[in-house]
Structure 1
Amino acid sequence: MTASPQPAEPTPAVPLRTLRLSIVPALHPPLTGPAVALVDPATPPPRPPHRPGPRPTPEGRRSRSQDLFGPAWSVRDDLPDPRTAGRLLFTTALEALAGRRPLTQVQRLTSPGVYAALVSGRRPAWCARSTTPLLVGPVHVCEPVDGVAEVSAVARRDGRAHAVAARLEGVDGRWRCTALSIG
Structure 2
Amino acid sequence: MKTAKAVNTRLSSFTPEEFFGHQPTSTAELPDPQPLVENLARTVMEILAGCRDIDQISRWVTDDVYRNLLQRVHISRRARAVKKQAVIRPTFGLGKTIITEPSDGAIEAVVIIHGKARTRAIAVRLEGLDGRWRATAIHVL
Q: TM-score range by the shorter chain?
A: 0.7 to 0.9
Structure 1 residue 130: deviation in Å?
A: 5.7
Asked whether the equivalents of residues 120 and 140 of structure 2 are also in contact (C-alpha less than 8 Å), the reply is yes
Structure showing the higher helix proportion among its residues = 2
1:103 aligns with 2:70: no
* TM-score normalized by the length of structure 1: 0.57
Deviates more, 1:139-148 or 1:102-111: 102-111
Aligned position for 1:141: 99
Structure 1 residue 138: deviation in Å?
A: 2.7
Asked whether the equivalents of residues 166 and 180 of structure 1 are also in contact (C-alpha less than 8 Å), the reply is yes
Distance 1:138 1:113, change over 3 A: same
**Matched residues in 2 for 1:93 and 1:132: separation?**
11
What is the percentage of aligned positions where both structures have the same residue?
Answer: 34
Structure 1 residue 100: deviation in Å?
A: 1.8
**Matched residues in 1 for 2:45 and 2:126: separation?**
17
Aligned position for 1:85: 36
Distance 1:131 1:100, change over 3 A: closer
**Matched residues in 1 for 2:102 and 2:136: separation?**
15
Aligned position for 1:119: 70
SS at match of 1:123: helix
Structure 1 residue 159: deviation in Å?
A: 4.6
Superposed CA RMSD: 2.2
Larger Rg: 1
The count of residues paired between Structure 1 and Structure 2 equals: 116
Deviates more, 1:156-165 or 1:168-177: 156-165
* TM-score normalized by the length of structure 2: 0.73
Q: Which runs of 5+ in 2 are unaligned?
A: 1-16, 80-85
Q: Which one has more relative contact order, counting CA pairs under 8 Å at least 6 apart?
A: 2
Instruction: Select 1:70's aligned residue among 13, 17, 21.
Output: 21
Aligned position for 1:174: 132
**Matched residues in 2 for 1:123 and 1:180: separation?**
16
